[in-house]
């Protein structure tokens, strides 16, 4: 639906986008990521025909935004970085104007406006002046504006900026629902959001494409099998105390007593648990192939980090050894799963790698 | 198209809810109302010209403020991104916005409708200038709005947009000054570009395509520039840049061509009450028949409201042969000096090396007792052109040999005037030549001191009976001249052997110098209209000859060859004047100048007598000057042809007296009448009668409070109300 081939853009000689090539298929929801000044807004402006690329070719539904502006503009709903609002209009008046502008046929205009108002939760402010609305509401009016006329291609430049958490959830749901029938390209800085909504992520930095893939795949690719979430039963069952390692047991006795006598002081319990967790971590660090073990918040939760560069079978062997070790120490494993690496990490890593590479070159 | 409509309505709504709109309209109405009130009340003239003339200046401040937000605001709010990514073209956006602003301006103008209503209720304004003035005002406003629309696309800063719009408009205004200072072709082009220039003729009541096309050009040009400017961001490739350069050149070319065409093929609707810009059919015929280029130069004070420049320009527009120029003699003193121009409103007509000068005195006639001025400029200029164009100048021959005054002696000033009127002057002596010079139109006999010999009489008789014209100026004389008397009798006039004393109508210092009453005749009426007197120092009375010239008998007795022998009569006389056909028939004598009834004729017997009325003296009123016509036998129903003017005095055209009031004009009119130039006298003068309005003192103050205070306040209040109501939205 959207194709970019070797697209570049210079502002008065300064390059904002360089040799960008990607495709967004029909019905896809694609996230567009990049640090400030990466060229996201510039790219979107070129797709919508607001400005022409300096070089390269753009196709939206097969049309060039500059050569066939009407064909492209008819098919696009666009929420620019700054919502394009007229402060002196009422919300419904503004949306009605947009409906006219988007050439929604006269008999459908009212229904279109009502639908957009309802979908973006603007019902209670529909009669107010746009200029008198709060930041978040204005953002919603901007979104509603993009939805008018139900265009097949939607381009959102940071759609959830300024929204309250409740609204963010609703808008994300809305965008998810748009998938399938609409092609959506949205830019964002909020990575969980992209992770939550998008089927695919395109990451750019300094105007260049850095990576594009499904969010999970990106994470996998980076940390394939190297990190796991581990949860064990803690504190260790009372009957098993004697079989603990000497040092661990010694430390644990008093605690167990305290645990039996009562959990009146949560802090004491917490301290005891933390020490026990540290013990487990020490235990596992001795396992061959384990690089590090980091206890995490909840009792019995750890991050298990294996040596980098292990093959899949090697990784499985290491996990096997961990299982026996814990079983031996009578800490039953409740959960052992590959960690979902946050996109933030991926992002930062990709961008820093890119930078390092760029500087090296 | 629907895109234009959508943008238009959005923009108009934005104007109507903006408090700034109401403030601007209030200021506009307060200033406009004041200008209207001040000009109408002070001058008492029921016209909107003063209001329009002053308010145009307000527009160059006001309109840029009105239009500054049109695009600059979209750019700064980021809403331009919505418009430019929606399925509307830049052209639709610009036109929609422009039309909305023009509609608003038209609405503001509509709020001035109270002014003409007052004029129509309490006075009698001319509708033409009101209609043309409003049309021009709207066009001017539309042009200013286009300039503002353009400057608004230059920037996202509204202040810059307004200031640069103001700058461009001011420049368009000031160009007029530069044009005046520069003069010449460059000045003419600059003047053509100046916005103010074009409004002036609308304000006078002329709707001309030249001026309308100018405003349309400004609108189209600046809207085009606005679209181009917004498109700049789309000029990515050199080939697009080249295309747009070609387009720009094409559009500029079309606009220039449209203006050239409008100048070349002018069409205009003259709504001025006096038809100031419209030349008569006669003039247009004269111009169509022009054989060589004619240059008409008007010397006019800059800024005067004289009709002379418009008149001269009208000639320039009517014919490509005519080059019309309006010059301020203060700015081009050398030209004024070269052409001998000493007064404002002098018109000089030149063809080749020949020149005619028209003095301002002959242009205007005030109608006494009424607020009217008659303007005879067209008559004067057309006559001048006609005369210059005549291949052969008409010849006026002065008879000498009997002690007459002649161009060499006593008539030097008159000779200059005759040449100025386009005549050639010669003198001749019948004793030497035995005939009247060839191609003579008029023979002037100015106060002979001795009698005509019988042979000479015969020549003169044949001359007048063969179609020649004479002016006989015969002073009172103690001797009686039988030759002159019989020549006069031939013309149906009996010479009185007396000097006329008119105790009622005489020059204040001399009872023997009558200021006779003017009878109605083409020769005298221009004088009586201007209240100018003719003074005849010592005049003899004239009477109608006792039917000597009735029918053929008397004529035959006087001149054997004339009654039937129309062709032979001309044979022996030299070729008489312009007409070869002999004129016969009884002379018809018409009075030109008459004494009062109290006048009497003091007989001249040679002895000195006391001037007093004696019982035997003939009583008045007498004719002192008569015009003589004769029916033309060749054309049975033809108009009688002028033959002679006889005056019982010759001194009035001599250098000492020629300058007195109407003396010169009386004589020149007589010559013109005799030579047939009177035909041009029929061009109707243009009458300037300002439409009056009388307002009672109460009305004066009501209209002040209504237009200057209440209406603008109403606007401010409604703007405030709208703001108040929307404040809670
Ligand atoms: N109108 C402009 N003129 C000059 N340079 C510009 C213009 N607009 C953007 N740039 C430059 O182009 C580069 C890309 O800007 P862009 O706005 O596309 O980044 P972005 O990815 O949207 O950033 P952000 O996350 O902050 O919105 C930046 O270096 C910016 O300074
Ligand atoms: Mg951005």
Ligand 1 atom 12, closest CA: A16
Q: Does A235 sit behind a cis peptide bond, omega within 30 degrees of 0 on the bond before it? A: yes
* A155: pLDDT strictly greater than 80: yes
B229-249 pLDDT, tens digit each: 888 766 555 566 777 788 888
pLDDT of residue A177: 85
| Kind of pairing between the strands at A290-296 and A301-306 | antiparallel
Q: b/e for B595-631, b at 16 or more Cβ within 10 A?
A: bbeebbbbbbeeeeeeeeeeeeebebbbbbbbbbbbb
User: Do B73 and B163 sit in the same domain of this protein?
Assistant: yes
Atom of ligand 1 nearest to the CA of A12: 4
Residues B494-516 have a mean pLDDT of: 85
B175 shares its domain with B46: yes
Q: Do A101 and B82 touch (CB under 8 A)?
A: yes
Substitution site in A12, A35, A41 for ligand 1 pocket (most atoms within 8 Å of beta carbon):
A41
Query: Both tokens of residue B363?
Result: 């242009």
Indicate the helix (H) or strand (E) that contains A176: helix A165-178
Are residues B357 and B497 both part of a single domain? Answer: no
pLDDT digits 0-9 by tens, A311-323:
667 778 888 899 9
Q: Cβ–Cβ contacts within 10 Å for residue B62, how many?
A: 22
Tell how strand B294-299 and strand B206-208 pair up: unpaired
Q: Which residue of B has its CA nearest to A125?
A: B729
Residue B545 within any structural domain of the chain: yes
Pairwise CB contact (< 8 Å): A73 & B87? yes
**Closest Cα partner for B699 from B243, B41, B38?**
B41
Lowest mean pLDDT among B284-298, B671-685, B711-725: B671-685
CA–CA separation, B75 and B126 (whole Å): 47
* Whether residues B499 and B532 fall in one domain: yes
Range of weakest confidence among A243-247, B322-326, B458-462: A243-247
Which range has the worst mean pLDDT, B64-73, B325-334, B353-362?
B353-362
3-state class (DSSP) for residue B470: strand
B487/B542 same-domain check: yes
Q: Which residue has the tokens 């401040």?
A: B61
- What CA–CA distance (Å, rounded) separates B65 from B63? 5
- Structure-token pair, residue B413: 């000033």
| Residue B644 shares a structural domain with residue B707 | no
Determine the pLDDT at residue A309.
Answer: 66
Q: Which chain B residues contact residue A74 at CB under 8 A? A: 87
Q: Residue A45 CA: which ligand 1 atom is closest?
A: 18
3-state DSSP assignment of residue B564? coil
Q: Which of A332-346, B165-179, B558-572 has the highest mean pLDDT?
A: B165-179
Q: Which of B17, B79, B84 sits opposite A50 (nearest CB)?
A: B84
Q: Is the pLDDT of residue B505 over 90?
A: no
> B322 forms bridges with which residues in the sheet?
B294
- Reading the block at residue B693, the tokens are 């309005």
B381 assigned to some structural domain: no
Residue B478 lies in a domain: yes
Based on the fold, state whether residues B355 and B471 are members of the same structural domain: no
Atom of ligand 1 nearest to the CA of A9: 12
Distance CA A57, CA A2 (A): 11
Instruction: Give the pLDDT score at A250.
Output: 43
- Tens of pLDDT, residues A31-66: 998 888 889 999 999 999 998 898 899 999 999 998
Contact B399, B444 (CB under 8 A): yes
Q: Is residue B690 part of a domain?
A: no
pTM for the whole thing? 0.68
* Domain annotation covers residue B374: no
CA angle at A233 for the pair A228 and A234, rounded to the nearest 5°: 110
Residue A219's pLDDT band (boundaries 50, 70, 90)? low
What is the mean predicted confidence (pLDDT) over B276-292?
A: 79
Considering the domain A2-222, what is its CATH architecture? 3-Layer(aba) Sandwich (3.40)
Domain-located, residue B252 = yes
The residue of chain B with its CA nearest to that of A89 is: B14
Q: Tell me what percent of the residues of chain B surpass a pLDDT of 70.
A: 87
Q: Is the pLDDT of residue B559 over 60?
A: no
Nearest to B82 among A84, A90, A103 (CB): A84
Tell whether B566 and B542 lie within a shared domain: yes
Q: In this predicted structure, what is the pLDDT of residue B644?
A: 92
- Output the six-digit token pair for B89: 């073209």
Q: How far apart are CA B358 and CA B355, in angstroms?
A: 10
Of A95-99, A239-243, B122-126, give the lowest mean pLDDT range: A239-243
The CA-CA-CA angle for residues B390, B392, B394, to 5°, reads 95
Among B17, B87, B238, the residue to mutate for chain A (most A Cβ within 10 A): B87
Look at residue A215 and tell me whether its pLDDT is greater than 80. no
What pLDDT score was predicted for residue A238?
42
User: Domain A225-338, what fold?
Assistant: Alpha-Beta Plaits (3.30.70)
**Closest protein CA for atom 9 of ligand 1:** A42
Query: Which residue puts its alpha carbon closest to atom 24 of ligand 1?
Result: A36
Confidence class of residue B558 from pLDDT cuts 50, 70 and 90? very low
In a domain, B378, yes or no: no
With the most atoms of ligand 1 within 8 angstroms of its CB, the residue from A16, A194, A351 to mutate is: A16
pLDDT tens digits, residue range B39-57? 888 778 888 988 998 998 8
Contact B78 A80 (CB under 8 A): yes
- How confident is the model at residue A244, as a pLDDT? 43
Same domain, B345 and B268: no
Domain count, chain B: 3
Range of the domain at B82: 2-273+695-728
Delimit the domains of chain A by residue range. Answer: 2-222, 225-338
Distance from CA of A300 to the nearest CA of B (A): 53
Which range is least confidently modeled, B113-127, B385-399, B624-638?
B624-638
Tokens 């009654």, located at residue: B563
Confidence check: pLDDT of B616 > 80: no
Around ligand 1, the residues with Cβ closer than 6 Å are A 11, 16, 34, 36-42, 81
Question: How far apart are alpha carbons B375 and A170 in whole angstroms?
Answer: 85
Of B151, B161, B656, the C-alpha closest to B411 is: B656
* Max mean pLDDT range (A230-234, B45-49, B386-390, B472-476): B472-476
Mean pLDDT of chain A: 81
């Amino acid at each position: 639906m959207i194709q970019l081939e070797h697209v570049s853009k210079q502002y008065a000689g300064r390059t904002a986008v360089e040799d960008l090539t990607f495709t967004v298929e029909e019905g896809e929801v694609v996230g567009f990521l990049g640090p400030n000044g990466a060229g996201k807004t510039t790219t979107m402006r070129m797709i919508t025909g607001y400005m022409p690329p300096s070089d390269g070719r753009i196709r939206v539904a097969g049309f060039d935004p500059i050569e066939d502006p009407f064909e492209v503009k008819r098919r696009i709903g666009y929420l620019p970085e700054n919502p394009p609002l007229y402060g002196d209009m009422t919300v419904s008046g503004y949306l009605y104007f947009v409906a006219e502008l988007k050439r929604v046929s006269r008999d459908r205009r009212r229904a279109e406006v009502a639908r957009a108002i309802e979908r973006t939760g603007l019902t209670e402010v529909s009669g107010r002046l746009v200029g008198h609305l709060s930041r978040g509401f204005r953002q919603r009016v901007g979104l509603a504006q993009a939805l008018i006329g139900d265009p097949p291609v939607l381009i959102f430049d940071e759609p959830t900026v300024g929204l309250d958490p409740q609204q963010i959830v609703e808008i994300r749901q809305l965008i998810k629902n748009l998938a399938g029938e609409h092609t959506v390209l949205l830019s964002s800085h909020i990575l969980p959001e992209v992770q939550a909504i998008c089927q695919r992520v395109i990451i750019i930095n300094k105007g260049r494409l850095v990576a594009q893939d499904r969010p999970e795949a990106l994470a996998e690719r980076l940390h394939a099998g190297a990190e796991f979430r581990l949860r064990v039963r803690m504190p260790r069952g009372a009957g098993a105390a004697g079989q603990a390692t000497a040092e661990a047991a010694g430390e644990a006795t008093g605690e167990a007593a305290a645990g039996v006598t009562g959990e009146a002081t949560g802090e004491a319990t917490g301290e005891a648990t933390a020490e026990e967790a540290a013990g487990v971590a020490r235990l596992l660090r001795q396992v061959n192939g384990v690089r590090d073990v980091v206890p995490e918040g909840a009792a019995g939760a750890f991050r298990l980090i294996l040596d980098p560069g292990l093959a899949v079978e090697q990784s499985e062997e290491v996990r096997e050894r961990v299982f026996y070790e814990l079983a031996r120490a009578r800490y039953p494993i409740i959960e052992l799963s590959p960690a979902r690496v946050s996109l933030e990490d991926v992002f930062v890593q990709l961008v820093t790698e890119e930078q390092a590479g760029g500087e090296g070159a | 198209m629907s895109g234009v409509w959508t943008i238009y309505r959005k923009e108009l709504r934005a104007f109507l809810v903006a408090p700034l709109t109401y403030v601007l309209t209030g200021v506009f109405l307060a200033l406009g109302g004041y200008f209207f009130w001040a000009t109408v009340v002070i001058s008492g003239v029921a016209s909107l010209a003063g209001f329009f003339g002053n308010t145009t200046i307000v527009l160059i401040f006001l309109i840029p403020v009105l239009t500054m937000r049109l695009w600059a605001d979209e750019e700064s709010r980021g809403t331009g991104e919505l418009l430019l990514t929606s399925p509307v073209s830049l052209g639709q956006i610009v036109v929609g916005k422009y039309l909305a602003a023009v509609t608003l301006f038209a609405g503001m103008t509509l709020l001035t409708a109270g002014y003409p209503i007052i004029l129509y209720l309490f006075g009698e304004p001319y509708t033409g200038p009101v209609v043309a003035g409003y049309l021009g005002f709207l066009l001017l406003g539309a042009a200013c709005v286009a300039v503002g629309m353009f400057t608004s696309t230059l920037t996202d800063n509204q202040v810059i947009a307004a200031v640069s719009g103001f700058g461009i408009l001011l420049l368009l205004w000031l160009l007029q000054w530069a044009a005046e200072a520069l003069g010449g072709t460059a000045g003419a082009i600059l003047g053509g570009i100046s916005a103010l220039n074009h409004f002036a003729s609308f304000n006078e009541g002329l709707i001309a395509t030249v001026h309308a096309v100018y405003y349309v050009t400004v609108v189209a040009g600046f809207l085009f520039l606005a679209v181009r400017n917004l498109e700049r961001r789309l000029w990515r490739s050199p080939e697009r840049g080249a295309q747009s350069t070609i387009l720009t050149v094409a559009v500029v070319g079309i606009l220039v061509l449209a203006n050239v065409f409008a100048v070349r093929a002018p069409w205009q609707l003259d709504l001025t009450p006096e038809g100031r810009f419209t030349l008569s059919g006669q003039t247009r015929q004269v111009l169509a028949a022009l054989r060589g280029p004619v240059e008409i130069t008007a010397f006019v004070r800059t800024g005067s409201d004289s009709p002379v420049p418009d008149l001269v320009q009208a000639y320039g527009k009517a014919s490509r042969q005519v080059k019309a120029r309006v010059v301020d003699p203060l700015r081009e003193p050398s030209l004024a000096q070269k052409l001998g121009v000493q007064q404002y409103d002098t018109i000089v007509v030149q063809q080749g090396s020949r020149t005619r000068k028209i003095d301002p005195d002959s242009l205007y006639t005030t109608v006494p007792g009424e607020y009217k001025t008659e303007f005879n400029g067209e008559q004067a200029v057309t006559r001048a052109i006609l005369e210059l164009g005549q291949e052969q100048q008409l010849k006026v021959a002065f008879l000498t040999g009997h002690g007459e005054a002649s161009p060499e002696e006593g008539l030097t000033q008159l000779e200059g005037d005759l040449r100025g009127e386009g005549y050639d002057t010669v003198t001749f002596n019948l004793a030497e030549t035995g005939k009247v010079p060839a191609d003579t139109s008029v023979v002037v006999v100015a106060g002979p001191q001795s009698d005509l010999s019988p042979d000479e009489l015969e020549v003169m008789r044949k001359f007048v009976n063969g179609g020649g014209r004479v002016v006989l100026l015969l002073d009172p004389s103690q001797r009686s001249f039988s030759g002159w008397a019989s020549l006069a009798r031939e013309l149906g006039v009996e010479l009185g052997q007396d000097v006329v004393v008119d105790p009622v109508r005489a020059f204040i210092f001399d009872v023997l110098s009558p200021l006779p009453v003017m009878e109605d005749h083409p020769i005298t009426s221009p004088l009586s209209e201007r209240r100018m007197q003719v003074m005849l120092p010592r005049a003899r009375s004239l009477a109608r000859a006792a039917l000597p010239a009735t029918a053929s008998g008397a004529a035959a007795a006087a001149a054997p060859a004339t009654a039937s022998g129309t062709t032979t009569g001309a044979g022996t006389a030299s070729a008489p004047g312009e007409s070869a056909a002999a004129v016969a028939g009884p002379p018809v004598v018409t009075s030109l100048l008459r004494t009062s009834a109290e006048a009497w004729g003091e007989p001249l017997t040679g002895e000195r007598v006391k001037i007093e009325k004696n019982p035997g003296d003939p009583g008045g009123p007498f004719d002192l000057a008569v015009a003589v016509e004769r029916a033309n036998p060749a054309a049975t129903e033809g108009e009688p042809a002028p033959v002679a003017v006889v005056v019982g005095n010759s001194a009035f055209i001599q250098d000492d007296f020629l300058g007195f009031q109407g003396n010169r004009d009386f004589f020149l009119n007589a010559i013109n009448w005799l030579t047939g130039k009177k035909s041009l006298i029929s061009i109707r003068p243009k009458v300037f009668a300002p439409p009056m309005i009388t307002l009672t003192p109460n009305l004066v103050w009501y209209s002040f409070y209504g237009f200057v205070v209440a209406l603008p306040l109403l606007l401010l209040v409604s703007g405030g109300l709208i703001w108040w109501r929307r404040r809670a939205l």
